[in-house]
Amino acid sequence: MKLPAFEYACPATLAEAVALLAAHDGDAKAIAGGQSLVPMLAFRVTAPALLVDLRKLPGLDRIAIGDDGVRLGALVRWRDILDDKRLARAHPLLVAAVRHVAHYQIRNRGTVGGSVAHADPAAEMPGIAVACEAEIAVTGKAGKRTIAAKDFFLGALTTALATDEIITEIRLPAWPAGRRFGFEEFALRRGDFAIAAAAVFYDADASGRAANAHVGVVGVGDRPARIPAAEAALDGARVDADTIARAAAATSAAVEPHDDIHASAAYRRALVGTMVERALAAAAAASAAA
Ligand SMILES: Cc1cc2nc3c(=O)[nH]c(=O)nc-3n(C[C@H](O)[C@H](O)[C@H](O)COP(=O)(O)OP(=O)(O)OC[C@H]3O[C@@H](n4cnc5c(N)ncnc54)[C@H](O)[C@@H]3O)c2cc1C
Protein backbone atom coordinates (compact mmCIF):
# COMPACT_ATOMS: atom_id res chain seq x y z
CA MET A 1 0.00 0.00 0.00
CA LYS A 2 1.12 3.55 -0.65
CA LEU A 3 1.98 5.64 2.38
CA PRO A 4 -0.37 8.44 3.42
CA ALA A 5 0.83 11.95 2.60
CA PHE A 6 3.08 13.61 5.17
CA GLU A 7 5.53 16.48 5.49
CA TYR A 8 9.14 15.55 6.09
CA ALA A 9 11.89 17.26 8.10
CA CYS A 10 15.46 16.19 8.72
CA PRO A 11 16.79 18.49 11.46
CA ALA A 12 20.47 18.75 12.32
CA THR A 13 20.05 19.24 16.06
CA LEU A 14 18.15 17.57 18.87
CA ALA A 15 16.66 20.91 19.94
CA GLU A 16 15.26 21.46 16.47
CA ALA A 17 13.84 17.94 16.33
CA VAL A 18 12.12 18.37 19.70
CA ALA A 19 10.76 21.77 18.65
CA LEU A 20 9.25 20.26 15.49
CA LEU A 21 7.57 17.46 17.45
CA ALA A 22 6.30 19.91 20.08
CA ALA A 23 4.92 22.32 17.48
CA HIS A 24 2.76 19.56 15.98
CA ASP A 25 1.24 18.59 19.32
CA GLY A 26 1.00 14.83 18.77
CA ASP A 27 0.54 15.00 14.98
CA ALA A 28 4.25 14.46 14.21
CA LYS A 29 6.38 11.36 14.65
CA ALA A 30 10.09 10.73 14.83
CA ILE A 31 11.48 8.30 12.30
CA ALA A 32 14.73 6.43 12.85
CA GLY A 33 15.25 3.20 10.85
CA GLY A 34 11.67 3.23 9.58
CA GLN A 35 11.42 -0.56 9.93
CA SER A 36 8.35 -0.41 12.16
CA LEU A 37 6.98 3.03 11.35
CA VAL A 38 6.86 2.63 7.56
CA PRO A 39 4.75 -0.56 7.74
CA MET A 40 2.51 1.19 10.28
CA LEU A 41 2.06 4.08 7.84
CA ALA A 42 1.37 1.69 4.98
CA PHE A 43 -1.32 -0.06 7.02
CA ARG A 44 -2.74 3.30 8.18
CA VAL A 45 -2.17 2.38 11.83
CA THR A 46 -0.80 5.90 12.10
CA ALA A 47 -0.92 8.91 9.76
CA PRO A 48 1.06 11.81 11.23
CA ALA A 49 1.19 15.15 9.44
CA LEU A 50 4.98 15.33 9.81
CA LEU A 51 7.85 12.85 10.02
CA VAL A 52 10.94 14.11 11.84
CA ASP A 53 13.91 12.13 10.61
CA LEU A 54 16.47 11.63 13.39
CA ARG A 55 19.33 10.39 11.24
CA LYS A 56 21.36 13.61 11.23
CA LEU A 57 21.26 14.15 14.98
CA PRO A 58 24.87 14.10 16.13
CA GLY A 59 26.22 11.58 18.63
CA LEU A 60 23.18 9.32 18.83
CA ASP A 61 24.86 6.49 16.92
CA ARG A 62 27.53 5.81 19.56
CA ILE A 63 28.09 2.79 21.75
CA ALA A 64 29.96 3.84 24.91
CA ILE A 65 31.33 1.27 27.34
CA GLY A 66 32.52 2.37 30.77
CA ASP A 67 32.63 1.38 34.43
CA ASP A 68 28.97 2.36 34.74
CA GLY A 69 27.88 0.02 31.95
CA VAL A 70 26.92 0.22 28.29
CA ARG A 71 25.34 3.31 26.77
CA LEU A 72 23.60 2.74 23.47
CA GLY A 73 22.78 5.90 21.52
CA ALA A 74 19.21 5.75 20.24
CA LEU A 75 20.38 5.51 16.61
CA VAL A 76 22.61 2.49 17.24
CA ARG A 77 21.46 -0.21 14.81
CA TRP A 78 21.25 -3.95 15.42
CA ARG A 79 24.13 -4.35 13.00
CA ASP A 80 26.31 -1.97 15.06
CA ILE A 81 25.75 -4.09 18.17
CA LEU A 82 26.60 -7.33 16.40
CA ASP A 83 29.71 -5.76 14.85
CA ASP A 84 31.07 -4.28 18.10
CA LYS A 85 33.40 -6.95 19.47
CA ARG A 86 33.72 -5.15 22.83
CA LEU A 87 30.13 -6.04 23.67
CA ALA A 88 30.89 -9.76 23.83
CA ARG A 89 32.55 -9.01 27.17
CA ALA A 90 30.74 -5.81 28.14
CA HIS A 91 27.20 -7.16 27.65
CA PRO A 92 26.98 -10.70 26.27
CA LEU A 93 23.26 -10.99 27.10
CA LEU A 94 22.50 -7.99 24.86
CA VAL A 95 24.45 -9.54 22.00
CA ALA A 96 22.75 -12.92 22.48
CA ALA A 97 19.32 -11.25 22.30
CA VAL A 98 20.08 -9.04 19.29
CA ARG A 99 21.15 -12.12 17.30
CA HIS A 100 17.42 -12.96 17.25
CA VAL A 101 16.23 -9.55 16.02
CA ALA A 102 14.71 -9.54 12.55
CA HIS A 103 16.50 -10.26 9.29
CA TYR A 104 19.70 -9.02 7.68
CA GLN A 105 18.25 -6.00 5.84
CA ILE A 106 16.18 -4.89 8.83
CA ARG A 107 19.18 -5.20 11.16
CA ASN A 108 21.05 -2.77 8.91
CA ARG A 109 18.48 -0.03 9.52
CA GLY A 110 16.48 -0.74 12.67
CA THR A 111 17.64 1.09 15.80
CA VAL A 112 17.52 0.41 19.52
CA GLY A 113 15.72 3.70 20.16
CA GLY A 114 13.09 2.86 17.55
CA SER A 115 12.55 -0.57 19.05
CA VAL A 116 12.15 0.75 22.57
CA ALA A 117 9.83 3.56 21.43
CA HIS A 118 7.76 1.15 19.32
CA ALA A 119 7.31 -1.17 22.34
CA ASP A 120 6.31 -4.34 20.57
CA PRO A 121 5.50 -6.84 23.38
CA ALA A 122 7.51 -9.55 21.57
CA ALA A 123 10.60 -7.46 20.79
CA GLU A 124 13.95 -8.43 22.25
CA MET A 125 15.40 -4.99 23.12
CA PRO A 126 12.54 -3.88 25.40
CA GLY A 127 12.87 -7.28 27.10
CA ILE A 128 16.58 -6.78 27.66
CA ALA A 129 15.95 -3.25 28.92
CA VAL A 130 13.48 -4.49 31.53
CA ALA A 131 15.42 -7.62 32.50
CA CYS A 132 18.63 -5.61 32.98
CA GLU A 133 17.04 -2.61 34.73
CA ALA A 134 18.08 -0.23 31.97
CA GLU A 135 17.44 3.49 32.05
CA ILE A 136 16.04 5.30 29.06
CA ALA A 137 17.27 8.86 28.57
CA VAL A 138 14.87 11.18 26.76
CA THR A 139 14.76 14.83 25.79
CA GLY A 140 11.60 16.86 25.23
CA LYS A 141 10.46 20.44 25.33
CA ALA A 142 10.49 20.31 29.16
CA GLY A 143 14.12 19.18 29.13
CA LYS A 144 15.87 15.90 29.83
CA ARG A 145 14.66 13.05 31.99
CA THR A 146 15.57 9.44 32.64
CA ILE A 147 12.91 6.74 32.81
CA ALA A 148 13.49 3.33 34.37
CA ALA A 149 12.69 0.61 31.83
CA LYS A 150 10.18 -0.94 34.26
CA ASP A 151 8.18 2.31 34.14
CA PHE A 152 8.64 2.97 30.43
CA PHE A 153 6.52 0.23 28.83
CA LEU A 154 2.85 0.80 29.59
CA GLY A 155 1.28 -1.74 27.23
CA ALA A 156 1.44 -2.98 23.65
CA LEU A 157 2.91 -0.18 21.49
CA THR A 158 2.42 2.20 24.43
CA THR A 159 5.15 3.92 26.43
CA ALA A 160 5.72 6.71 28.93
CA LEU A 161 7.19 8.94 26.18
CA ALA A 162 5.47 12.28 25.68
CA THR A 163 4.69 13.18 22.06
CA ASP A 164 7.49 15.77 22.00
CA GLU A 165 10.11 13.50 23.58
CA ILE A 166 12.96 11.79 21.78
CA ILE A 167 14.91 8.87 23.20
CA THR A 168 18.59 9.73 23.17
CA GLU A 169 20.21 6.82 24.97
CA ILE A 170 19.58 3.44 26.56
CA ARG A 171 21.82 2.76 29.56
CA LEU A 172 22.48 -0.80 30.64
CA PRO A 173 24.11 -1.24 34.06
CA ALA A 174 27.62 -2.68 34.20
CA TRP A 175 27.98 -6.40 33.57
CA PRO A 176 30.38 -8.01 36.07
CA ALA A 177 32.88 -10.61 34.88
CA GLY A 178 31.72 -14.15 35.58
CA ARG A 179 28.01 -13.35 35.49
CA ARG A 180 25.95 -16.34 34.28
CA PHE A 181 23.37 -15.73 31.61
CA GLY A 182 21.18 -17.26 28.95
CA PHE A 183 18.83 -16.02 26.24
CA GLU A 184 16.36 -18.36 24.57
CA GLU A 185 13.69 -17.57 22.02
CA PHE A 186 11.12 -19.48 20.04
CA ALA A 187 9.86 -17.89 16.81
CA LEU A 188 8.12 -19.44 13.82
CA ARG A 189 11.13 -18.57 11.65
CA ARG A 190 14.53 -17.23 12.64
CA GLY A 191 14.27 -13.43 12.70
CA ASP A 192 10.51 -13.32 13.25
CA PHE A 193 9.16 -11.77 16.42
CA ALA A 194 9.27 -14.15 19.37
CA ILE A 195 6.31 -16.31 20.28
CA ALA A 196 8.07 -16.34 23.65
CA ALA A 197 11.59 -15.54 24.81
CA ALA A 198 13.46 -15.46 28.10
CA ALA A 199 16.53 -13.53 29.25
CA VAL A 200 18.09 -14.72 32.51
CA PHE A 201 21.18 -13.89 34.51
CA TYR A 202 22.56 -14.34 38.00
CA ASP A 203 25.80 -13.90 39.87
CA ALA A 204 27.26 -16.82 41.82
CA ASP A 205 28.03 -16.06 45.47
CA ALA A 206 31.09 -17.41 47.30
CA SER A 207 29.37 -20.74 47.99
CA GLY A 208 28.35 -21.14 44.35
CA ARG A 209 24.72 -20.24 44.93
CA ALA A 210 22.80 -17.85 42.71
CA ALA A 211 22.48 -14.23 43.78
CA ASN A 212 20.94 -11.20 42.11
CA ALA A 213 18.86 -13.42 39.82
CA HIS A 214 16.98 -11.67 37.02
CA VAL A 215 14.41 -13.41 34.84
CA GLY A 216 12.82 -11.43 32.01
CA VAL A 217 10.29 -12.55 29.41
CA VAL A 218 8.73 -11.22 26.20
CA GLY A 219 5.86 -12.37 24.03
CA VAL A 220 3.64 -13.48 26.90
CA GLY A 221 1.87 -10.27 27.87
CA ASP A 222 1.27 -6.75 26.68
CA ARG A 223 4.77 -5.64 27.70
CA PRO A 224 8.12 -7.13 28.70
CA ALA A 225 8.24 -8.28 32.30
CA ARG A 226 10.46 -9.62 35.03
CA ILE A 227 9.24 -12.63 36.98
CA PRO A 228 9.87 -12.08 40.72
CA ALA A 229 8.66 -15.59 41.67
CA ALA A 230 11.21 -17.19 39.35
CA GLU A 231 13.95 -14.92 40.66
CA ALA A 232 13.03 -15.89 44.23
CA ALA A 233 13.32 -19.56 43.28
CA LEU A 234 16.89 -18.92 42.10
CA ASP A 235 18.31 -16.54 44.70
CA GLY A 236 20.27 -18.44 47.33
CA ALA A 237 19.89 -21.78 45.53
CA ARG A 238 22.26 -23.95 43.56
CA VAL A 239 21.14 -23.76 39.93
CA ASP A 240 20.55 -27.48 39.44
CA ALA A 241 17.75 -29.29 37.62
CA ASP A 242 15.31 -28.94 40.53
CA THR A 243 15.90 -25.21 40.92
CA ILE A 244 15.60 -24.67 37.18
CA ALA A 245 12.31 -26.61 37.11
CA ARG A 246 10.96 -24.48 39.98
CA ALA A 247 11.92 -21.22 38.23
CA ALA A 248 10.40 -22.40 34.95
CA ALA A 249 7.15 -23.44 36.64
CA ALA A 250 7.00 -20.13 38.51
CA THR A 251 7.35 -18.28 35.21
CA SER A 252 4.56 -20.22 33.50
CA ALA A 253 2.33 -19.60 36.51
CA ALA A 254 3.06 -15.87 36.61
CA VAL A 255 2.47 -14.81 33.00
CA GLU A 256 -0.90 -13.84 31.49
CA PRO A 257 -0.66 -14.32 27.73
CA HIS A 258 -3.61 -13.99 25.34
CA ASP A 259 -4.70 -16.17 22.43
CA ASP A 260 -3.78 -14.69 19.06
CA ILE A 261 -3.30 -15.84 15.47
CA HIS A 262 0.20 -17.15 16.23
CA ALA A 263 -0.37 -19.19 19.39
CA SER A 264 -2.87 -19.95 22.11
CA ALA A 265 -2.42 -18.50 25.59
CA ALA A 266 -1.89 -22.02 26.98
CA TYR A 267 0.85 -22.71 24.45
CA ARG A 268 2.68 -19.47 25.21
CA ARG A 269 2.40 -20.12 28.94
CA ALA A 270 4.01 -23.54 28.58
CA LEU A 271 6.55 -22.31 26.04
CA VAL A 272 7.86 -19.47 28.16
CA GLY A 273 8.59 -21.93 30.96
CA THR A 274 10.60 -24.00 28.51
CA MET A 275 12.48 -20.87 27.39
CA VAL A 276 13.38 -20.07 31.01
CA GLU A 277 14.41 -23.67 31.59
CA ARG A 278 16.71 -23.68 28.56
CA ALA A 279 18.18 -20.27 29.32
CA LEU A 280 18.97 -21.30 32.90
CA ALA A 281 20.40 -24.62 31.76
CA ALA A 282 22.73 -22.73 29.39
CA ALA A 283 23.74 -20.37 32.18
CA ALA A 284 24.43 -23.24 34.57
CA ALA A 285 26.34 -25.21 31.94
CA ALA A 286 28.60 -22.22 31.28
CA SER A 287 29.09 -21.97 35.03
CA ALA A 288 30.10 -25.66 35.26
CA ALA A 289 32.56 -25.20 32.39
CA ALA A 290 34.14 -22.05 33.88
C1 LIG B 1 9.85 -8.15 8.81
C2 LIG B 1 10.26 -7.53 10.13
C3 LIG B 1 10.68 -8.35 11.13
C4 LIG B 1 11.07 -7.79 12.36
N5 LIG B 1 11.46 -8.64 13.36
C6 LIG B 1 11.81 -8.12 14.56
C7 LIG B 1 12.22 -8.95 15.63
O8 LIG B 1 12.31 -10.16 15.53
N9 LIG B 1 12.51 -8.36 16.81
C10 LIG B 1 12.44 -6.99 16.98
O11 LIG B 1 12.71 -6.51 18.07
N12 LIG B 1 12.10 -6.19 15.98
C13 LIG B 1 11.78 -6.71 14.76
N14 LIG B 1 11.41 -5.87 13.77
C15 LIG B 1 11.35 -4.42 14.04
C16 LIG B 1 12.71 -3.78 13.88
O17 LIG B 1 13.60 -4.23 14.87
C18 LIG B 1 12.58 -2.26 13.95
O19 LIG B 1 13.75 -1.77 13.43
C20 LIG B 1 12.41 -1.63 15.31
O21 LIG B 1 11.31 -2.13 16.01
C22 LIG B 1 12.12 -0.14 15.16
O23 LIG B 1 13.29 0.53 14.94
P24 LIG B 1 13.39 1.63 13.82
O25 LIG B 1 14.66 2.35 14.06
O26 LIG B 1 13.19 1.03 12.50
O27 LIG B 1 12.19 2.61 14.23
P28 LIG B 1 11.13 3.38 13.32
O29 LIG B 1 10.37 2.41 12.51
O30 LIG B 1 11.78 4.50 12.63
O31 LIG B 1 10.19 3.98 14.48
C32 LIG B 1 9.40 3.13 15.27
C33 LIG B 1 8.65 3.97 16.30
O34 LIG B 1 9.57 4.53 17.23
C35 LIG B 1 9.53 5.96 17.20
N36 LIG B 1 10.92 6.38 17.35
C37 LIG B 1 11.99 5.95 16.63
N38 LIG B 1 13.13 6.43 17.15
C39 LIG B 1 12.77 7.18 18.22
C40 LIG B 1 13.50 7.92 19.19
N41 LIG B 1 14.85 7.96 19.20
N42 LIG B 1 12.81 8.59 20.15
C43 LIG B 1 11.45 8.54 20.18
N44 LIG B 1 10.71 7.84 19.31
C45 LIG B 1 11.36 7.17 18.34
C46 LIG B 1 8.86 6.33 15.89
O47 LIG B 1 8.18 7.56 15.98
C48 LIG B 1 7.91 5.16 15.71
O49 LIG B 1 6.75 5.39 16.49
C50 LIG B 1 11.04 -6.39 12.53
C51 LIG B 1 10.64 -5.55 11.50
C52 LIG B 1 10.24 -6.11 10.30
C53 LIG B 1 9.82 -5.19 9.19
Res. 288: pLDDT tops 70:
no
pLDDT-derived band of residue 254, with 50, 70 and 90 as boundaries? very high
Report which protein residue has its CA nearest ligand 1's atom 23. Answer: 114
- Per-residue model confidence as pLDDT tens digits over 173-183: 999 999 999 99
pLDDT tens per residue across span 112-141: 999 999 999 999 999 999 999 999 999 999
The CB of 243 under 6 Å from ligand 1? The reply is no
Q: Given the CA of residue 40, which atom of ligand 1 is nearest to it?
A: 29
Which atom in ligand 1 lies closest to the alpha carbon of residue 194? 8
pLDDT at 1 over 90: no
For ligand 1, say whether the CB of 73 is within 6 Å of any of its atoms. no
Ligand 1 lined by 30 (C-beta under 6 Å): yes
pLDDT band at residue 4, thresholds of 50, 70 and 90?
very high
Q: How far is the CA of 70 from the centre of ligand 1 (A)?
A: 20
**pLDDT per residue as tens digits for the range 141-159:** 999 999 999 999 999 999 9
Give pLDDT tens digits for 101-113.
999 999 999 999 9
Percent over 90 (pLDDT), the chain: 94
pTM assigned to the model: 0.97
Average pLDDT, the chain: 96
Q: Is 230 in the pocket of ligand 1 (CB under 6 A)?
A: no
Going by alpha carbons, the residue nearest to atom 17 of ligand 1 is: 110
Cα(245) to centroid of ligand 1, in Å? 34
Can you give the three-state secondary structure of the chain, one letter per residue? Answer: CCCCCCEEECCCCHHHHHHHHHHCCCCEEEECCCCCHHHHHHCCCCCCCEEEECCCCCCCCCEEEECCEEEEECCCEHHHHHHCCCHHHHCHHHHHHHCCCCCHHHHCCCEHHHHHHHCCCCCHHHHHHHHCCCEEEEEECCEEEEEEHHHHEEECCEECCCCCCEEEEEEEECCCCCCEEEEEEECCCCCCCCCEEEEEEEEECCCCCEEEEEEEEECCCCCCEECHHHHHHHCCCCCCHHHHHHHHHHHHHHCCCCCCCCCCHHHHHHHHHHHHHHHHHHHHHHHHHC
Tell me: pLDDT of 274 over 60: yes
Ligand 1 contacts CB of residue 118 (under 6 A):
yes
